[in-house]
Amino acid sequence: MFLQKYMRYKDPKQPINTRIKDLIDRMTLAEKIGQMTQIERQVASADVMKKYFIGSILSGGGSVPAPQASPAIWVDMVNEFQKGALSTRLGIPMIYGIDAVHGNNNVYNATLFPHNIGLGATRDPRWGRCYESYSEDHRVVQQMTDIILGLQGEIPVNQTKGVPYIAGKEKVAACAKHFVGDGGTHNGINENNTIVDEHGLLSIHMPPYYDSIIKGVATVMVSYSSLNGVKMHANRDLVTGYLKSKLHFRGFVISDWLGIDRITSPPGANYTYSVQAGINAGIDMVMVPYNYTEYIDDVTSLVDKRIISMSRIDDAVRRILRVKFTMGLFENPLADLSFADQLGKKEHRELAREAVRKSLVLLKNGNSPNQQFLPLPKKARRILVAGSHADNLGYQCGGWSIQWMGGSGNITTGTTILDAIKSTVADSTTVDYSENPDDSFMKHNDFSFAIVVVGEPPYAETVGDSSDLTILDPGPDTIKTVCSAVKCAVVIVSGRPIVIEPYVPLMEALVAAWLPGTEGQGVADVLFGDYGFTGKLPHTWFKSVDQLPMNVGDSHYDPLYPFGFGLTINSSLPGFSGADSLEHKKQRTILSTPLAVKLHKRNFQRL
């Protein structure tokens, strides 16, 4: 009779630290280094997982098993990789990483929420990743760290501070990024140098990480950027000395995509040095993501030469295993279809629609409080909808939407702002759409009013860096042509404040809609008065790019619209129904903390 040998690490009744120690004691160097390796799904296979003991796979932006892949295709792919990992000697499950920036945004038909700038904003609008953060005010960002509780679960009262917490297999591991100061780079250039003294670092850039760690965040990703000339991927003082030792973070630290390669200039100039510098700085898992054999060979050689110590390797593996045990991956390693019916669920789309409503900021409304232009009447003879962003779901969603850079047109399932307007107005109201009408069109047509929807094209990361921050052509001409001929409301769809001052006098109303995601109905809900405007600017709106950088509190602060600005609608005027007016009276910021949690308690399918 065959009796399977008892292994403590496989026993869920054992304390996690006991399981970690038992497993590490059994592991070879090759198995440990494998755990520290994250590879892209395109180079992964069951055989690769088994041969190299790979600890993690990720889908980069737009990396999918097939166009418009169904949940079943995703699950089958992930489980094929996982079975390779489980077939190894010790059967350590891999962890699958996704760039879920505003929803499970690689997956077709997923609900895409407004980008974070719609739920807050960020520091310098020239930065190409501006929309990925919440605010120029760290206090807003700190509030929004409650997203962690939504993704991972409410943390128990007796939980040790700094230790990751994931409430069960219906939850996912969160990642706080990018550590640290990536939104404060010189001239807002992505991956550039943040020049700041210790007080500025600890008072402006670090506080959201304190909150994230207290709330049990599982992982922290290091920034491509430098701090006072030192690459963050090689910054041992901050990664090990501050994040791990001072803040007592016990999850694992992961590099960014090709992050260690960029320690040198040009990237990859001395890969062995980059591996040495990154791991010795305190990076636990490296997002390789393609040339994993070179990475594994270099780590092995550096350990054999005692340039990287075994204690550093064991620290990294201990942290990775802690997250895997906490997630319950050893007990439930395989994905299934139990959440397949959640994809694009009506309840989730309604929640995203609510988020859109509450993220809209009213910047102008008529020429006096008693001459408000909004809300618009649902009953009108004929209205014009114009602009490049009115009927373009891809533009509405922005970057990190199906593809890394986003796209144009019907990239996924959702409601454009034009379709939302059509479904909101009365049956007797005629809605005409012209993307860029000319003077002749306006002269020969008679409209009650117009809605112009313009903004930025989709982008992500460095591609979005901009020194001029202009509206996508022919947006400015569309505003001039339409608003000179008929009373109009202009809706700006953008990942940050952009140049708008020259056109404000032409329009009756101006709305900042940020990047609202798939649920454009939320825009029409507020334009036509079913709900009131409650959003407040979480980012200063400049007059001219020559003023930048400019943040609230600066001596030269002279904005077009200041941080915290946001008009409301006089509910006593005709046309306002204000279904949530009582709630609006209480709301002072763009999104309350409870809604931040509410938004993200809708779990994405665990892949």
Of 579, 590, 567, 554, nearest to 509 (Cα)? 567
The DSSP bridge partners found for residue 39 are 57
Which secondary-structure segment (H or E) carries 199? helix 198-200
Contact 95, 324 (CB under 8 A): yes
Please state, in angstroms and rounded to a whole number, the distance separating the CA atoms of residues 375 and 392: 23
Please state, in angstroms and rounded to a whole number, the distance separating the CA atoms of residues 393 and 219: 32
Catalytic positions: 256, 461
CA 480 to chain centre: 34
Please state, in angstroms and rounded to a whole number, the distance separating the CA atoms of residues 399 and 61: 9
Please state, in angstroms and rounded to a whole number, the distance separating the CA atoms of residues 447 and 380: 9
Q: In degrees, to the nearest 5, what angle opens at C-alpha 152 toward C-alphas 19 and 129?
A: 120
Please state, in angstroms and rounded to a whole number, the distance separating the CA atoms of residues 136 and 125: 9
CA 32 to chain centre: 31
The owner of tokens 């947006």 is: 475
Please state, in angstroms and rounded to a whole number, the distance separating the CA atoms of residues 103 and 92: 28
Amino acid at 256: D
* Cα end-to-end distance, the chain, whole Å: 38
DSSP one-letter string for 147-196? HHHHHH-PPPTTPPTTS----STTS---EEEEETTGGG-GGG-TT-EE--
16-26 and 310-327 are packed helices; what angle lies between their axes, rounded to 10 degrees? 130
Please state, in angstroms and rounded to a whole number, the distance separating the CA atoms of residues 210 and 162: 9
